[in-house]
């Protein structure tokens, strides 16, 4: 495992430079190295990194991990990390939801800086240690088991009962008491008529037109959320792609991408999911298909996290190279002159939230760029965290903090009073909705684009 060449923090006479002119890089995650889950080695690295963070504090305004750490240091007997009880370390770890924004936007000490600081992946290491020790709540295991929960809740009749319970005051109090799901947190509905059942090929694959960067035909990784919770989103995406002559197909089956298990630290479960999904997707790549996923977290899983967890797996690398954010894909088609601009309806002003897991893909604001092709349309991006963050925002103990994190986004959406507000992450959109005083539902960018096309 890579180790830092210095244990000194900023301003402590180490002589190391602050920041770097070189592009940030990430090391593979050596999760099968015996040292990865060694308690002594883990806490030594936590103390080293926490000491650097304490001396810098640029990240205080991001998630709640950093205020939790800094408060623990400031309230310690020494005023330094060495005075913090190790039990407090776990509060820092639990508040990290692996958004990666500290690594991508704030930290001046990421690789190739000699201090080699990768805070999110250190938090992942700590979560994996905690999971191995069995110190994980049943609630968290259930919330991360998206395939199991979706298969049960999606059974006809059962889905109706689940949705009715989730909509009722008594049902939400029960969820709170039994699972610790906050009564005001947005929870999705379940559909027995899944997207995979609704999918219809809109264009024959033989009609695909390639460009220098795209094959012109895609396999859609529908994701457990779109398949079970918001199948209409998948239908909107497929309709827009078909309108642009892009055939959309599915693999014969799929399971969760693994992001919920990553947040839990269950790395073996991620390997099992990888072993199921990746060969199916790679086979489609061999048939000439590109890959798109409608949820940014799933896209990031295939583009970044799986390749770092399994750097020597050639199929993982093949899938990585062929995976695109869907609006990234449409923008590449537009640049090659292959995107239709025969829009029938203007969209007006759109207040657009950019999810963290989309921002860290480093592809720019392609959703905004595509929507701005619609005449008489203005898109106002909000590049801040919504506070939902996977399962974090629904948990009883974190709900208040999650709303505090998302408050600036909610305020901007409310103040904008735009014609629409939208987010590439439907869960972030509903988090924003839950904080608005005047009720207004989010509209996904693909719903808006379909509306603009009049299809």
**CA nearest neighbour of 312 among 92, 30, 18:** 30
Rounded to two decimals, the pTM is 0.91
Average pLDDT over residues 416-428: 95
Q: Is residue 391, in this structure, part of any structural domain at all?
A: yes
156 and 201 in a single domain? The answer is no
Angle at 284 between CA 283 and CA 286, to 5 degrees: 65
For the segment 344-379, what is each residue's pLDDT rounded down to a tens digit?
A: 999 999 999 999 999 999 999 999 999 999 999 999
- What does the DSSP 8-state code read for residue 247? -
348 and 226 in a single domain? The answer is no
Rounded to whole angstroms, how far apart are CA atoms 278 and 207?
Answer: 26
Q: Is residue 26, in this structure, part of any structural domain at all?
A: no
Q: Is residue 12, in this structure, part of any structural domain at all?
A: no
CATH classification at residue 375: 3.40.50
* pLDDT of amino acid 11: 44
- Here the tokens at position 327 are 């609006």
For the segment 207-251, what is each residue's pLDDT rounded down to a tens digit?
A: 899 999 999 999 999 989 999 999 999 999 999 999 999 999 999
Q: Is residue 8, in this structure, part of any structural domain at all?
A: no
414 and 345 in a single domain? The answer is yes
Domain boundary among the residues 278, 304, 332 is at 332
Task: Determine contact, residues 341/453, Cβ cutoff 8 Å.
Answer: no
Beta bridge partners of 181: 395
306 and 412 in a single domain? The answer is no
For the segment 249-308, what is each residue's pLDDT rounded down to a tens digit?
A: 999 999 999 999 999 999 999 999 999 999 999 999 999 999 999 999 999 999 999 999
260 and 350 in a single domain? The answer is no
Angle at 116 between CA 271 and CA 83, to 5 degrees: 100
274 and 378 in a single domain? The answer is no
Per cent of the chain over pLDDT 70 is 95
Query: How many separate domains does the chain show?
Result: 4
Query: For residue 16, what pLDDT band results from cuts at 50, 70 and 90?
Result: low
Q: Is residue 19, in this structure, part of any structural domain at all?
A: no
230 and 295 in a single domain? The answer is yes
Q: Hey, what's the torsion of the CAs at 65, 68, 71, 72, to 10 degrees?
A: -110
Task: Determine contact, residues 178/166, Cβ cutoff 8 Å.
Answer: no
Domain boundary among the residues 154, 179, 204 is at 179
Q: Is residue 4, in this structure, part of any structural domain at all?
A: no
227 and 301 in a single domain? The answer is yes
For the segment 87-141, what is each residue's pLDDT rounded down to a tens digit?
A: 999 999 999 999 998 998 888 899 999 999 999 999 999 999 999 999 888 888 8
118 and 236 in a single domain? The answer is no
217 and 307 in a single domain? The answer is yes
Domain boundary among the residues 115, 147, 179 is at 179
Residues with Cβ < 8 Å from 175, sequence gap 6 or more?
Answer: 165, 166, 181, 183, 187
**CA nearest neighbour of 289 among 240, 246, 327:** 246
For the segment 24-35, what is each residue's pLDDT rounded down to a tens digit?
A: 889 999 999 999
- Here the tokens at position 109 are 């000490």
78: number of Cβ within 10 Å: 9
Query: Domain range for residue 264?
Result: 195-332
290 and 215 in a single domain? The answer is yes
Q: Is residue 275, in this structure, part of any structural domain at all?
A: yes
317 and 235 in a single domain? The answer is yes
Q: Is residue 172, in this structure, part of any structural domain at all?
A: yes
């Amino acid at each position: 495992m890579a180790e830092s060449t210095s244990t000194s923090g900023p301003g402590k006479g180490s002589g190391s430079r602050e920041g770097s002119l070189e592009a940030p890089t990430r090391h593979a995650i050596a999760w099968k190295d015996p040292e990865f889950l060694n308690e002594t080695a883990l806490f030594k690295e936590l103390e080293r990194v926490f000491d650097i963070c304490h001396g810098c504090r640029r990240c205080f305004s991001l998630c709640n991990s950093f205020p939790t750490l800094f408060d623990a240091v400031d309230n310690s007997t020494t005023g330094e990390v060495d005075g913090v009880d190790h039990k407090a370390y776990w509060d820092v770890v639990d508040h990290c939801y692996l958004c990666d924004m500290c690594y991508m936007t704030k930290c001046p000490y990421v690789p190739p800086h000699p201090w080699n600081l990768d805070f999110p992946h250190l938090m992942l290491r700590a979560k994996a240690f905690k999971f191995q020790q069995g110190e994980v709540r049943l609630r968290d295991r259930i919330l991360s088991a998206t395939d199991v929960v979706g298969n049960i809740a999606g059974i006809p009749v059962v889905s109706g009962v689940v949705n009715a319970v989730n909509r009722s005051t008594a049902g939400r109090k029960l969820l709170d008491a039994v699972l610790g799901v906050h009564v005001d947190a947005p929870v999705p509905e379940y559909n027995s008529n899944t997207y995979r059942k609704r999918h219809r090929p809109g264009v024959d694959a033989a009609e695909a037109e390639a460009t220098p960067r795209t094959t012109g035909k895609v396999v859609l990784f529908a994701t457990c959320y779109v398949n079970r919770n918001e199948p209409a989103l998948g239908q909107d995406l497929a309709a827009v792609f078909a309108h642009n002559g892009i055939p959309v197909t599915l693999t014969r089956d799929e399971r969760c991408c693994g992001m919920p298990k990553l947040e839990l630290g269950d790395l073996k479960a991620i390997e099992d999911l990888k072993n199921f999904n990746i060969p199916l997707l790679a086979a489609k790549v061999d048939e000439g298909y590109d890959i798109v996923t409608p949820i940014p977290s799933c896209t990031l899983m295939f583009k970044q996290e799986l390749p770092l967890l399994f750097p020597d797996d050639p199929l993982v690398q093949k899938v990585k190279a062929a995976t695109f954010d869907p609006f990234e894909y449409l923008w590449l088609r537009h640049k090659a002159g292959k995107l239709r601009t025969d829009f029938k309806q203007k969209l007006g002003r759109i207040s657009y939230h950019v999810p963290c897991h989309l921002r860290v893909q480093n592809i720019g604001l392609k959703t905004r760029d595509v929507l701005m092709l619609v005449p008489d349309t203005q898109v106002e991006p909000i590049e801040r965290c919504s506070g939902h963050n996977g399962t974090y925002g629904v948990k009883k103990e974190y709900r208040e903090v999650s709303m505090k994190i998302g408050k600036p986004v909610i305020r901007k959406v409310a103040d904008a009073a735009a014609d629409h507000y939208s987010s590439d992450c439907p869960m972030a959109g509903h988090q924003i909705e839950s904080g608005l005083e005047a009720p207004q539902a989010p509209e996904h960018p693909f719903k808006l684009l379909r509306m603009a096309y009049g299809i």
